[in-house]
Amino acid sequence: MMRLPRRVVAARPAAFRATLMAVAVALAVSALGTAVFTVTLGESVSDGLLNFLTFGGLAALTAGVLSWELASSRVCPRCRREGPRGAAGCANCGYDLRSRRRFACSEGHVVAYDPGMCDCGRRLLELGPVPVLRHAMGTLLLALAVVAALGIAALLAAALQ
Ligand SMILES: [Zn+2]
Ligand SMILES: [Zn+2]
């Protein structure tokens, strides 16, 4: 369901591991939840399996998207290497991971991680900080909206049977 280019996986092993772990935990919790639910309501095994596939899949999707987004805060934007959580600077290229300064040409020619000049002769202007948390929250809300939409569709499909 989540197609990742091999290149991305190789470049971000920690993010990939964290995402796999989150998906596995979500699936395990969903399996346990639907098993309890099925037994409590006395539903058939096939109903329970269907519930698990629906809600387990959605939970795994949400957990995967969220953990991948949160793990991206550990990646150096300049050289794309992963660093330890909360590192002040990139161990590979020395980029300041706390301030994460970015510079851009006012004409939109280039975005750089160091101050300097654009090829067009304009001085690069510093950009505002990247809102990592807001970006992650946006992704989470989108994932929840998808989950809600699929859940409503599943309910409608069940009601029409
Ligand atoms: Zn770096
Ligand atoms: Zn320029």
What is the whole-number distance in angstroms between the Cα of residue 18 and the centre of ligand 2? 38
Where does residue 34 rank: exposed (0-12), middle (13-18), buried (19+ CB within 10 A)? buried
What is the whole-number distance in angstroms between the Cα of residue 101 and the centre of ligand 2? 18
Q: pTM of the predicted model, to two decimals?
A: 0.56
CA distance 89 to 5: 27
What is the whole-number distance in angstroms between the Cα of residue 127 and the centre of ligand 2? 14
What is the whole-number distance in angstroms between the Cα of residue 111 and the centre of ligand 2? 9
46-103 pLDDT, tens digit each? 888 888 888 888 888 888 888 887 777 788 888 888 888 778 889 889 998 888 889 9
